[in-house]
Amino acid sequence: MAVPHLIRRGVSGGSPLHPLRGLLFASQEVGRRSLSSAAGDAADQLKGAREEVKQLLKATSCHPILVRLGWHDSGTYDKNITEWPKCGGANGSLRFDVELKHGANAGTVSLSLLIQPIKDKYSGVTYADLFQLASATAIEEAGGPKIPMVYGRVDVAAPEQCPPEGRLPAAGPPSPAEHLREVFYRMGLNDKEIVALSGAHTLGRARPERSGWGKPETKYTKNGPGAPGGQSWTSQWLKFDNSYFKDVKERRDEDLLVLPTDAVLFEDSSFKVYAEKYAVDQDAFFSDYAEAHAKLSNLGAKFDPPKGFSLN
């Protein structure tokens, strides 16, 4: 029996299409729909997780440490290493004890316990995506800019894939400007991005028992919210704005923290251009910060689908 031709109409008016080729095209279409459906399911899970993160923020005022969670997962990236996941970056490796015990991650273990119930509820969300989702959501919920995030990050599978210790920035290096450039240039970031990202210190506190920096408590932190104590960079340390740059520049309040890596932003000639600008122009700070945060969140990430996907 003759097999009927499948006809594809086109500019030429139509030509016979072999039935096997027709099946191939149909299979490709199903594959595209499957990918689209999978991305849709993942997006729905991420949206659910985002709402849970918002509730967690309202209940615990943990904005600063959620920001830190995303940064410390992605901030291990080394642009000079091309092999994934040896390059480090936003790959969910921070969930493993071996990395949580790195000196720069002191205090992060308790945070991972906060976020784990959300991961358990939305098991289709990778740790890498959840860490970055939580970080961006914390910025936005604190009054900061909308971060243009992309999702679909793939997790590393085992603690053996964690990056070596020592890739995250230190608070009090002997040469602060040189140290900041060494760390952030290794990630592929520039001076403007270094200064913009430093502005996230408008949120949070330093605790001497964890970092070795800051006072045990100040008039701004003795009553919380959250566990009391520590020293903040700004008086309203759960509000994202440009206060950090104003306060570091003026240094009028001994209860506000200024680390060597903060002070150098107004001492180094290149950094100072941006720090001075952000101190007087919050819109410019927000715009540059959102761009830099999004870039940081993608460092070293492997995406599935390859270009990732966005949430509405």
Distance of CA 187 to CAs 76, 77, 155, 213, Å? 8, 5, 19, 25
Task: State how far the Cα of 103 lies from the Cα of 165, in Å rounded to an integer.
Answer: 8
For this structure, is 72 an active site residue? yes
Phi, psi of 16 (to 5 degrees): -60, 140
DSSP letter (8 states) at residue 162: S
Give the Cβ contact number of residue 241 at 10 Å: 18
Element (H, E) at 8: strand 6-8
Amino acid of residue 56: L
Q: Is the dihedral of CA 112, 114, 115, 118 positive or negative?
A: positive
Q: Of 5, 18, 72, 179, which one is the catalytic site residue?
A: 72
Query: Nearest-CA neighbor of 211 among 61, 107, 98?
Result: 107
For the chain, helix (H) and strand (E) counts, in that order, are 12, 4
Query: Nearest-CA neighbor of 237 among 137, 106, 138, 105?
Result: 138
For residue 233, what are its two tokens? 């960079």
Distance of CA 154 to CAs 8, 79, 157, 205, 252, Å? 39, 18, 9, 31, 45
Distance of CA 291 to CAs 44, 283, 296, 298, Å? 24, 13, 9, 11
For residue 156, what are its two tokens? 């590393």
Cβ proximity of 255 and 220 under 8 Å: yes
As annotated, the active-site residues are 72
